[in-house]
Amino acid sequence: MHILLVEDDEPLALSLATAMRGRGWRTDVSNRGEPVPASLLRDEYDALVLDIGLPGIDGLETLRRIRAQGSFLPVLMLTARDGVEDRVAGLEDGADDYLVKPFAISELLARIRALVRRHEFRRSESLALAALRFDASARRAYIGERPISLSARECIVLQYLLLKTGQIVPRDQFAALIPGWDAATSDNALELLMSRLRAKIEPGGVRLRTVRGLGYLLEPAAA
């Protein structure tokens, strides 16, 4: 694997890079966020490990910039901040996972492996229903040839619903599927996410139904 590690704490960066290279992973290290967007355009990486507390532009701004340029590379955020608001901000900006310092290096390595496996799963799938198409390699959705703008969470939910077309997906499955989404997240928050997704995809000839008390169902729209 090829990993980009962005961490300005030199002893920590050295320890993490040494552990990654010990696993046979090719690891590039940067101590600032500004070069990251160009690095991702120049080189092919399997994952980005990104500290929030960077000098210059911080990790959240770096994340926003790489997502804005169309990168869906798996991103694991590192931070000394343990506030819920910081974790939510990172996940909403497109982070795939979040690790609060201090942490065990073995956990970091396990998280990276899990992210890469999940990403490889996404890349292996190309799904369609009616005029709606989801390109998992790019994490982009289309109605015909027209692209649809989706958030990172909407991409995850849409791919899973397409995989389960015609089946009711229980609400609690989304808690396990979406990074940062847990049992404490309200039903209203999930319904809001589904409502936004529904408005974007239903012009493609599909129907996203709420099955009261059970979950959600994606199916072709009635003729």
pLDDT digit string (tens) for the chain, length 223 residues: 899 999 999 999 999 999 999 999 999 999 999 999 999 988 989 999 999 989 999 999 999 888 887 777 899 999 886 656 666 666 777 788 888 888 999 999 999 988 887 776 555 567 889 999 998 777 789 999 899 999 888 988 898 898 889 999 888 777 667 766 655 556 788 889 999 999 999 999 999 999 988 899 999 997 5
Q: pTM of the entire structure?
A: 0.57
Residue 205 identity:
G
CATH of domain 2-122: 3.40.50.2300
Nearest to 201 by CA among 125, 140, 111: 140
Burial of 134 per CB tally in 10 Å (0-12, 13-18, 19+)? buried
d(CA 183, CA 176): 9
Instruction: Say how far apart CA 82 and CA 50 lie, in whole Å.
Output: 16
Beta bridge partners of 185: none
What residue ranges do the domains of the chain occupy? 2-122, 126-220
CATH fit for domain 126-220, picks 3.30.70.3190, 1.10.10.10, 1.20.120.1200, 3.30.310.50: 1.10.10.10
Rounded Cα distance, 93 and 80, in Å: 18
In sequence order, the β-bridge partners of residue 215 are: 170, 211
